[in-house]
Chain A
Amino acid sequence: MSDLTVGDVIAEQSFELSRDSLVRYAGASGDFNPIHYRDDVAQSVGLPGVLAHGMLTMGLAVQPVIDWLGTRGVVTDYGVRFTRPVLVDATDGATVTVVAKVGAILDETTRLDLTVTFADQTVLGKAQVQVRFS
């Protein structure tokens, strides 16, 4: 894609997570760790409350890239570090915001760098997606 420049913001989106979202992800993924749906269990292991699955945050964070890409290509690589938890309040839920920027234009792929934040703090580190245009 010759019309892309490093630093361009290609997508920006916010996601509203609720406890329902966590239960839905637990069922879909098979990850039934109770720290993702029970406050008492979360607190018993020293957490402030129920957390989103890291893999849910990772999974939704790439979706703005998928929508932007459409049928023009495929994701060839996607990696993240889990740096901070996303606390999902029983009443208010949690808002996770994703900004995707062009990080590098390589020979065969384009790297998109994701900034993923919750409560004004980054929750994923080195979140990078490589896409190959067809």
Chain B
Amino acid sequence: MNPELQGRVFEPVAPYLVGREKVREFARAVFSTSPLSLDPAAAQAAGYADVVAPPTFAVVVQEATLAQLLAEPDGGIDFSRVVHGEQRFSYTRPIVAGDELTATLAVTSIKSLGGNDMVTAESTIVDASGEHVVTATSTLVVRGEA
């Protein structure tokens, strides 16, 4: 992996429009039974404009930024050796259907440990008015050649 990736900030990816049915599909896939995620009327009764995405839904929005990182021409990251090490989501507010979200990736850390490389990438996700919604942070482990 190229150590010069550390500190690199990428171009924002194309905006992601959060759809009601996508939220419901994702919610069912993570075994959610929450009316806030599945029932628009329940979400509206609780004061939300539409269904509320489960906390890990942000990974769907983040995905395009990680694809940017893996495709970086001078990055030197071999996708076939990548293992997901850690994941974190830090929310200012929940994601709600109807949100138009834009994600921007920054590489915050590159480390070598025991023959493996570890890259930590932070995707800052803002809404259409530029307000922060969530930061999704992934640590990817690139296994060394045995």
Q: Could you list which residues of chain A lie within 8 angstroms of chain B, going by C-beta atoms?
A: 15, 21, 24-25, 27-31, 45, 54-56, 58-60, 62-63, 66-67, 71, 74-82, 129
- A82–B91 touching, CB < 8 Å: no
- A71–B46 touching, CB < 8 Å: yes
Given the interface contacts A28-B26, A56-B29, A82-B85, does A66 sit within 8 Å of B34 by beta carbon?
yes
Majority secondary structure of chain B interface residues (helix, strand, loop or mixed) = mixed
> Nearest Cβ in chain A — how far from B62, in angstroms?
10
Chain A residue nearest to B135 (CB atoms) is A77
Question: Cβ of B33 < 8 Å from any Cβ of A?
Answer: yes
- B91–A76 touching, CB < 8 Å: yes
Q: For chain B, which range describes its interface: under 10, 10 to 19, 20 to 34, or 35 or more residues?
A: 20 to 34
Q: Could you list which residues of chain B lie within 8 angstroms of chain A, going by C-beta atoms?
A: 22, 25-26, 28-34, 36-37, 46, 54-56, 59-60, 63, 80, 83-91, 93-94, 137
Q: Give the residue of B46, B63, B86 whose beta carbon is less than 8 angstroms from that of A30.
A: B63
> Nearest Cβ in chain A — how far from B60, in angstroms?
6
Q: Give the residue of B29, B34, B55 whose beta carbon is less than 8 angstroms from that of A78.
A: B55
- A67–B60 touching, CB < 8 Å: no
CB neighbours of A60 from chain B (8 A)? 30-31
